[in-house]
Every structure is written in C-alpha cells, then in structure tokens.
Amino acid sequence: MADNTKPVVMARNLTKVFKDFWGRPRVKAVDDISFQINQGEVYGLLGPNGSGKSTTLKLLLGLLFPTKGQISILGKPVSHVAVKQRIGFLPEESYLYGYLSARETLEFYGKLFDLTAAQRKQRAEQLLDIVGLEKVASRPVREFSKGMARRLGLAQALINDPDLIFLDEPTSGLDPIGTRQIKDLISDLKQRGKTVLLCSHLLADVEDVCDRISILYGGKIKVEGKVSDLLQNHNTLQINMPDLKMSTIEKIKKVIMETENNPDISIEHPHDRLETFFLNVVEQAVKDKDETSGAQIHLAGKKEPEPQTADQNTAETTDTDLIKHLMDKE
Amino acid sequence: MKQVLAIAHKTVLKALHDKMFAGITLIFLIILPLLPLLLRGDGSVIGHLRLFISYSVNFSIFFLSLLAIFMACNSLYEEMFRKQMFLLATKPVRKWQIIAGHWLGTCIIVGTLLAGATVINYGGLRWIYSHQKSVLTEEQHTDIAQNFFSARKTALPDNPDIDSMVEESVLSFRKANPNDKTPAEELRETYRKRLFYKLYCIPVNFQKKWTVSGIKGVKGDVFNFRFKYYTSEMPPDGKINGKWVFGEAGVTEEHEVFTDKSPETYHTLTLPVSVISGDGTLQVKFTNQDNDMLTLIMPDKDNVEVLYESGIFVINYLKASLLIFCQIAALVAIGVLFSAFLSFPVACLMTLFFFGIGTMATHFVQMLSAPVVEEAHGHSHGHEADHEAVESIFDLVARKMVGSMIQVFPHFDTINPTRFLTDGRFIDSSTMIWGFGIILLLQGGTALILGTIILHRKELAKVTI
Ligand SMILES: Nc1ncnc2c1ncn2[C@@H]1O[C@H](COP(=O)(O)OP(=O)(O)OP(=O)(O)O)[C@@H](O)[C@H]1O
Ligand SMILES: [Mg+2]
C-alpha cells in the first residue's frame, strides 16, 4: 500500500501561462496548483477537455517550463538524467516512428536506457506479449491502428521498468478489452510498489484503480482526495444477492413498507454493464479461435468483472456530472 | 555513446524508408556513371580526363551538399514537428546526444553515398583512360602519367620582398637628401618601378636566376619544371628563344635546355632529379636569346614552379574525398543547428546560404579586403589615376565588418579538391588541416555546440509558430 512518507512527485504553486509570438499572455493553462504524490500511489488527474491535465504532465516532465512554481520528481529536478532513468511516459498521442516496427521501436528505446542486448530482447518480447502485439511485432508502426499504436506507446513507457509512470489518457483509442488490460496493468504496477500518475476521462476506470484523484477545471484544482471518501454516497442503499423467489421479494417489500413507511422502493434484476456484455462476446470469439489482424487478446489474466458496488449513477456518469455531484457534496 | 549510436541508427533507418531519398539517390547514381560518356573535352585524352574529374567531383560536391542540407534540416525538425521529441526528451538522453545522433546518422547516409560516388568516379576515370589507351602515343602516355595520374608537390622560388626593399631605398634616399620634399608615395612609386625593371625584366643576353628550395621526398627519376613569361609585344613568329641551365656545377649535375616557347602560356620541362642538390635546392638560370631582341618579363607571381611526384594518385584521390566529406559533415552540423530552432524550409534556406557564401568565400574576402593598391608586378599600367578615389570611413568600416563576417563562414572553396586533381597535384597537409581542423572540427563543432545549447533552452512542447 501507499507509503505516505516519500513524495515522488511534488508540485508547488505551479502556474503555466502560454504566451503568443509577441510575449503577451494568452492562455492560463495551469493556475497555481499544488499537489504531492507519494510512493506506491495511483493518482488520477481528471477534468474536462482543456482543463490543463496534459499541460500539468508536460510541466512535470520538463517538456514545458513553468511560468511559476517548483517541481521535484523523485526528489530532483526532472532535467536530471538520473530521474529520466526511472520514469516512463505515455503522451496523449503515441508519437512513434512510423518507419520502425514495434520490435525496433522497443529496441530503440531500450538502447536509450543503456540496456544490454539480452535485456532489451527479453523486455521487448515480454512487453509485446503484455500489450498483445507479439504477432504484429515486425510490422511498421505506420500501419498500426490507433489502439495498436497506443498499446505500443504503453510498452515503450514500461521498457525501463520505471518507478514512476505518467500516463496521459492511456485508454484513448483502446477497445474495452485493452481498457480492461490497462486497468489490470495499473493495479499490477501498484502492487509492485510503482507510482502512477494517470489522466483519464473514463471515470469508471479511474474509480477502480486510483487511490487519490484531483479534478481540474480551468487550470485549478477543484477537488482532491481519496476516491473511496469522495464517492461514498450516504443517501442510497443497494442489496446484492442471488435471485430470490417472488414470494420472498414480496415479503421483503412488506417488511420495508411496514418499518420504514417509505413507498419509494423497487426491487429488480441488476443490469449487466455493456462492458461485461462486450467482454463476453469477444471472449467467445477468442475461444473459437477467430482470426484477427489487430491486437491480440489474452484471456489468461482476465478477471471476472466485479459486480457493481458503487452508486448506479456514478458508474456511467460523464465528467461534468461527476464534478457537479462532488461539488454539491462539499 | 550508445544513445548517440541508437539515434544515429534510427536516423539512418528513417532515410532508408524515405521514398523521396530513394528517388534522389537513384537519380544521382544514374547520372554519375553517365558523366564520362556525356563529357568530351578538347579532344585529347588528358583533356577528357581533366574535364571529367572536375565535373564529376564538383557535381558530387554540389549534389551531396544539397542532399546533406536537406537531410540534416529534415532530421531534427521532423523529430520535433511530429512530437517524437516528447518521448526522446523524457528518456535518459542528454541534449548533446540527440544533436550528435542526428548529425552522425545524416553523415553516415551522405558519407555512404560519397563513398559510392568516389568509387563510381574513379571507375569513370579508369574507363576513359583504358578506353582510349590504344590510340595514345608514348609521349601522351607519359604526359597523362605525369600530369594527371600523379600526386605532385610544388615548390616555388624564394621571392624577394619588394615592399621592404622599396622602404629601405626610400629611407636611404631620405638620409642622403634631407632637404628633398618629394612625397613619400612618389618616391615609393619610383623605386618600385626601378626594382621592377631590375628584378623582372630580362633584356636580350641578360640572365635571371632562381633558387628553389624545399624539394623533399621526390619519387622517381624525373620532375617537372613549369614556367611562363610575358613580352611587351608579341614576337612575329610567336616564339621566344632562350637557354635554361638547371643545377649548380660542382654541387649537382648541370643540365642545359634550349627552348623556343610562346609567351603568356605555361610550359613544362621534364628534368632529371640529379640536378637537385641533396638538401632539396634547385638552381635555375635563364638567358634570353631571342632573335627578335624582345625583352622578357617574368614577375614573381606565376613565373616558375617545380613540380615533383610525391605520392600516389589513388591516395590523393581518397584525400580529395575526405575533404568533400569534411564539407558535407560541416554542412550537416549547420543544418542540425538551424533545424533546432527554425522550421524545415527556413533552416534549409539558412544552410543553403552558408553553403553559397562558403563556396565563394575566398572570392568575397578578396573582393572586400584592403583598398585596391597598385600591385608592383602588374605589366599593364595606366590606371593609377583611378586609385586616387577617396575611400570614405564608412566604406572602410563596412568592408571590414562584412569581411570579418565572412570569416565566420566555412571556406569551402579552400578545400575544393578539383584544382589539385585536374593537375595531378598532391593535396598538401595545410589543405587537409584546414578541412579537418577548421571546417569540420572548429566550425562544424561550434555549430553542434550551439545546437545543443539551443535545444537545451527550448521548450519542446511549445507549439512552434
Ligand atoms: N502549446 C500550447 N500553446 C498554447 N496553448 C496551449 C498549449 N497547450 C495547451 N494549451 C492550452 O492550455 C489549456 C489546457 O490544455 P491541456 O492540453 O492541458 O488540456 P487537457 O486537460 O489535457 O485536455 P484534454 O482532455 O482535451 O486532453 C487549453 O486551453 C489549451 O488550449
Ligand atoms: Mg490532454
């Protein structure tokens, strides 16, 4: 679990103002934000489009220079090569070399980390397997679909087995299985004591994997906190159990009516989430050994989707809904 | 180093997958072998060889330089434009390694093409020669062997320092005539003219002597002596008779040659090495024996020259390719520098500008350097009046500034090997040092360092306008 003593990422009063050609301030993309991520934590950065998530990430990675504020990554300024040795980054789009194959791409990045030839080969094969690209590893990346490129982007971010990983919308362009795998992968990384900073719009996933989140709006942090604390809804209850006889249900209804005196109850079968349904269909196809020229799918590591635990509404909400929801709670 | 090589390797792979590059290379590799067929020359075999080598070498330089500029500017620019730099910059790679990797990769690609061009051009030379070998006379064979397929060093006579001699004369005149009011410039002019007649004019039955020293490492039994003279009017038969004596009685063998060569062109004599003394000195005497009683003029500049075999043509030819490589590598460095902060087309234009200025640098420097002063050995007179024109301070300052700015540009014309190759001349070490030391290491290196600094300060994720 999270070791709260060691801050891995620290941002203090971070501000970024984009200026135009004449040096006049144009956009305040990040506005005086401070946060800290501890070792072993999975931290989620949420917010609507253009709220400054990617900009924050680029500031942390040294791709942009802050207008104001301090940053330290793994206890040092990010420009240190020693810091870069221990981080992984998946940008908002996978900026890969179209003329290299998937394997060559990983080979290239492996060399930059000074890995030996044997290490590079072993890591590359392992990662290609994890992201399901082993069958297409020799094809040039320019032929890849968006999701395939995304998978390779993720593999490159993990080539050095980083201690700190920055993921900017890792699931964008991925199919539900890929999304699921990324979720599992993040949980895996967390289990191994890695720190992850994640930007995403898929709240259901963020909710499942993140320890803490902060929600940006217009470059400012609106809410920050533990996911479990933020999402607990004290107004509704949900009872989960296998199917019941009609007569039992009637009895329960009666008991509730008598004791609570509230007519606002309904008892029905829970809906499968679309995710579960889609997973089942594809799972069947994989079992039937149907051919695909796209990404390979692994069933081995796939977990049964958990039953829905949280409030029915939050699971499928959009960003703005959630923000409104959370703000109302404050 | 691993990082630099990885980036270089990636740069090479990029080029190999580039259809445009493949097309351009193909055109180059098709045109090059056709050059010996397309060029004809003045009809002689040596003329054909000279024309071919100057065209093929200059074509290779021009083409490969353009390609180098294009590739260099594209390489780093595209990495940034396509945002692949986001990934590269977050890996444990230093900025100099990124710059060096792009430079090295581009140099490898263009260098490989240069190696190919070197082989093809050499094949062309050999083809021209062997194709026409059967029709050559023995004399023409020797001519080609000595004047083309050779690597000859050159030695010039020790020339007197006219300027200091003039100053000396003026000083002694002043001492002897303290009351004389003649302006210094007038005195100088008078003495200069006097010295000119004394040193450079050879009336009939007069003799002129030269001492050529520093003739070291002569290969073979013979060497060449090259000369050229002028007359104030053309001889009726177009010929001047004279007697040459090479060597010094008692020290070396003496060798006499009678010539009847025309003025205003170079003539070459082939002489035995036995006339050169052990310490590499050659004494030369010339007596004017002209039938038409004409006076000869042989000024310091381009009068006589000793040419002697000192190396092998192939080695010389390879050195020429190395010089071309120095130019290409420097251009690549400049291209990488500009693409670190400019867009592709602008970076290309800027590098082309360096290429253009560099190719004519010596010419520009000569044009701009120092006000035009009457040169002592000019044999056509009559425009002294023009030099009275007053140069304004502004003009002088502007000249100086532009002149010193041009010094910053790499002087590519200084290392152009054509002038050596067409005459079978040994590429001297000062030219090689200029190519490697000044152009490649100093100027190319400075460009790479500046590129590193710029990349270091650059906000990589900022959108470029
Ligand atoms: N290089 C840039 N130059 C100028 N403005 C920029 C630049 N990059 C981002 N911005 C602006 O900064 C703001 C924040 O952008 P950012 O990319 O950080 O948003 P985001 O939260 O990642 O959005 P999304 O969810 O769409 O990825 C936006 O208004 C954007 O227009
Ligand atoms: Mg973004």
- Residue B1 forms contact with A (CB below 8 Å): no
Amino acid residing at A55 = T
**For residue B287, what pLDDT is reported?**
93
Query: Within 10 Å of residue B382's Cβ, how many Cβ atoms?
Result: 7
Fold designation for B162-309: Jelly Rolls (2.60.120)
Distance of alpha carbon A98 from alpha carbon A269, whole angstroms: 49
Q: Which atom of ligand 1 is nearest to the CA of A219?
A: 14
Q: Which amino acid is at A305?
A: P
Provide CATH 2.60.120 ranges for chain B. Answer: 162-309
The sign of the dihedral angle between the CA atoms of B181, B186, B192, B197 is negative
CA atoms of B156 and B310, how far apart (whole Å) = 15
At A323, which amino acid appears?
Answer: I
Q: What is the pLDDT of residue A299?
A: 59
pLDDT surpasses 60 at B185: yes
Task: State yes or no: pLDDT of B444 exceeds 70.
Answer: yes
pLDDT, tens only, B34-60: 887 887 777 788 888 999 999 999 999
pLDDT value, residue A41: 93
* Phi (first) and psi of residue A115, to 5 degrees: -75, 150
What does the alpha-carbon distance between residue B210 and residue A225 come to, in Å, rounded to a whole number?
Answer: 96
For tokens 């501000």, the residue is: A15
User: Whose C-alpha lies nearest to ligand 1, atom 6?
Assistant: A18
Task: Give me the domains of chain A, ranges plus CATH numbers.
Answer: 7-231 (3.40.50.300), 274-321 (no CATH)
Contact with chain B for residue A277, Cβ under 8 A: no
For A82, nearest residue in chain B (alpha carbons): B92
**Cβ(A49) to ligand 1 under 6 A?**
yes
Contacts for B318 with CB less than 8 Å, ≥ 6 apart: B118
A114, B3: Cβ pair inside 8 Å? yes
What value does the mean pLDDT of chain B take? 87
Q: What is the pLDDT of residue A316?
A: 40
| pLDDT surpassing 50 at residue B408 | yes
Amino acid residing at B94: R
B370 confidence band (pLDDT: 50, 70, 90)? low
Binning pLDDT at 50, 70 and 90, where does residue B369 land? low
For β-strands B151-155 and B304-311, DSSP reports them as antiparallel
Structure tokens at B177: 């005539």
pLDDT digits (tens, 9 = 90+) for B151-183: 888 888 887 788 888 888 888 888 888 888 888
Taking residues B333-362, what's their average pLDDT? 94
**Residues B45, B160: Cα–Cα separation, whole Å:** 39
Q: Which phi and psi angles does A90 have, rounded to 5°?
A: -115, 110
Give the pLDDT of residue B373: 46
Beta strands in A20-62 (DSSP E): 25-39, 42-46
Strand-pairing partners, residue A33, are A14
Adjacent-strand bridge partners of B282: B212
Judge if the beta carbon of residue A47 lies within 6 A of ligand 1.
yes
Q: What is the ipTM of this complex?
A: 0.78
Ordered mean pLDDT values, 10 residues apiece, chain A (330 residues)? 68 91 84 93 88 93 94 92 95 93 95 94 94 93 93 95 94 87 91 92 81 86 80 67 82 83 72 59 70 58 42 41 48
- Kindly tell me if the per-residue pLDDT of B384 is higher than 50: no
Shortest CA gap B77–chain A (Å): 14
Residue in A21, A24, A27 to alter for ligand 1 test, most ligand atoms within 8 A of Cβ: A27
> 3-class DSSP state for residue A99?
coil
Task: Name the band, by pLDDT with cuts 50, 70 and 90, for residue B374.
Answer: very low
- What gap in Å lies between CA B230 and CA B200, rounded to an integer? 10
Question: Which residues have CB under 8 Å from B350's CB, separation 6+?
Answer: B334, B338, B342
**Distance between CA atoms of B197 and A274, rounded to whole angstroms?**
107
Q: Is the pLDDT of residue B446 over 50?
A: yes
CA dihedral over A143, A149, A151, A155, signed as positive or negative = positive
pLDDT computed for residue A323 by the predictor:
47
Residue B266 contacts residue B226 (beta carbons within 8 Å): yes
Cβ <8 Å between A64 and B14: no
Q: C-alpha angle A55/A61/A65, rounded to 5°? A: 65
Q: Report pLDDT for B380.
A: 46
Three-state DSSP at B207 gives strand
How distant, in Å, are the alpha carbons of A184, A226, B4 from that of A188? 6, 19, 34
Which residues have C-beta under 5 Å from ligand 2, the single-atom ion?
A 53-54, 92
Residue range B65-108, pLDDT digits in tens = 999 999 999 999 999 999 999 999 999 999 999 999 999 999 99
- Whether B17 contacts chain A with CB within 8 A: yes
Beta partners for B261?
B240
**Residue A168 to residue A133: CA distance in whole angstroms:** 20
Look up the pTM and report it. 0.81
**Greatest Cα pair distance in chain A:** 76
